[in-house]
Amino acid sequence: MEDPRQPEDPRKLDDTQRLIDLAELQSLKARYWRCLDTKSWDELRSVFATDAHLDIDGFVNDGRDTIVDFLAEVLADARTVHMGHAPELDVTGPDTASGIWPLEDYVELPADSGQGLRGYGHYHDEYVREDGAWRIKSSRLVRLRVDPLSGGLPSTSSP
């Protein structure tokens, strides 16, 4: 009889775990953008680490609650579409990872005003596993370009 509890090839277990991590990290960022676009502020909270750091278009916020409160306020009257393209993700340790995500965001603020922007750039992210799930630890958006909508930029630029 074989012992079903025998250890597997450690390299192998690592590979499988890393692939699972990559799949979860991909979903994590998709959830972040979906929560922004559907204004699901409670669900958005679960995306961030407790001490998360967010740096977008000159707006810098620290701490999960501060970040979500900021986003909920700035985007309350906006209609947004966030489009995340093919990423580069890297698991850097058992509970740490990093990623670069290309983004197009289409923000009308306020909704139906014709004011807003179409922006393009790369998110540079760090992730951490906290309370058993991957979370965004820090996220910084580096712009390639920002085009105003036909009505011009919003009076307050926004994430």
Binding site for its own copies (CB under 8 A): 2-4, 6-9, 12-13, 15-16, 19-20, 22-23, 26-27, 29-31, 33-34, 37-38, 79-89, 100-102, 104, 106, 108, 120, 122, 144-145
Q: Which is nearer to its own copies, 9 or 131 (CB)?
A: 9
Residue 23 CB, shortest distance to its own copies, in Å, is 6
- Beta pairing, strands 79-84 & 133-148: unpaired
Instruction: Give the pair of three-digit tokens for residue 106.
Output: 């289409």
State the nearest-atom distance from the C-beta of 63 to its own copies, in Å.
25
User: Cα–Cα distance between 49 and 72 in angstroms, integer?
Assistant: 17
Q: Which is nearer to its own copies, 33 or 48 (CB)?
A: 33
For its own copies, give the closer residue by CB, 18 or 53. Answer: 18
